[in-house]
Amino acid sequence: MLNVTTTPAEKRKAFKQGLLSGTLQRVPGAFSPLVARLLEEQGFDAIYISGAVLSADLGLPDIGLTTLTEVATRGHQIARATNLPCLIDVDTGFGEPMSAYRTMVEMENQGLAGFHLEDQVNPKRCGHLDNKEVVPTADMVRRIKAAVEARVDPNFTLMARTDARMMEGLDAAIDRAKAYVDAGADAIFPEAMNDARDFEAFRKAIDVPLLANMTEFGKSDLLTAEQLQNLGINLVIYPVTSLRIAMGAVESAFERIRDEGTQQPLVPQMQTRARLYELLNYEDYNAFDTSIFNFKV
């Protein structure tokens, strides 16, 4: 009835197979379970749960203010609504190595398929802002090893993110990535790459799957899926796109309602009640117990 038949173990296996398939995995960000369900229907490969989006949805800037409990809870809400595997952003692991250990335990228990853990200092900031700081490589290695130690399902993907490109340069970021792979990271997320040449350099140097972050208004050129596939990138995320589109529409709509006194001109742009009910599988609930759910769409 809930239209989710795939177990967390199956999702993790599918996610890992996708990373190793040689085909670029297209992974948009979902800011809610309903969005995740829509993205599944549209045929994407997995779902991304962005720390920046979660912070923004709580009315907070992306500077490490969210807690492990908040992130794990939202991750579970989204993961349980879709058959697609979900990759979640866990920032710096909410502390030092012991916290990274607990983060792995919680994310596995909540049904996620993988997470990325980053090498910024704690508290962190958005990866596309200036004046970031990264911890020494040895500190990040300890975070990764603690998370690896906690992992139960070998198919859970532990991805290491390095933010060192902006502060230390490309070569240093690649050296860090190599150390993170040696520590047990299954994949690498090189954050805030400038252009295709940066990704090409990473691909030549690193032999595990690579993630490309195609976020709007950031440091990176917005490369196409075809370009990323040709560069040998394994996964692309569009982390904040759904939230930005939605908030842009909400802001515009309520400006008109404020100024015109009605939403009537906006109705043709809205998702219909019937379409929403279709996405929510109302009819299945209706069939399950017509004594309670006795409506018609």
pLDDT tens per residue, range 121-166? 877 766 566 667 999 999 999 999 999 999 999 999 999 999 999 8
Segment 23-29 shows an average pLDDT of 98
**Residues 6+ positions from 291 with CB-CB distance below 8 Å:** none
Of the candidates 160, 187, 152, 209, the one whose C-alpha atom is nearest the C-alpha of residue 8 is 152
Segment 208-218 shows an average pLDDT of 95
Q: Are 147 and 153 in contact (CB under 8 A)?
A: no
Identify the three-state secondary structure at position 48: strand
What are the catalytic residues?
48, 62, 89, 91, 116, 118, 126, 161, 191, 213
Provide the pLDDT for residue 3.
77
Cα–Cα distance, 230 to 238 (Å, whole number): 18
Q: Are 149 and 187 in contact (CB under 8 A)?
A: no
Opening angle at CA 47, ends 42 and 51, nearest 5: 140
pLDDT band at 296 (very low <50, low <70, confident <90, very high): low
pLDDT band at 220 (very low <50, low <70, confident <90, very high): confident
Q: Is the pLDDT of residue 115 over 60?
A: yes
Provide the pLDDT for residue 87.
98
What are the φ/ψ torsions at residue 89 (nearest 5 degrees)? -90, 120
pTM of the model: 0.94
- The pLDDT > 90 percentage for the chain reads 84
For 79-106, write each residue's pLDDT tens digit.
999 999 999 999 999 988 999 999 999 9
Domains and CATH numbers, the chain: 8-240 (3.20.20.60), 247-288 (no CATH)
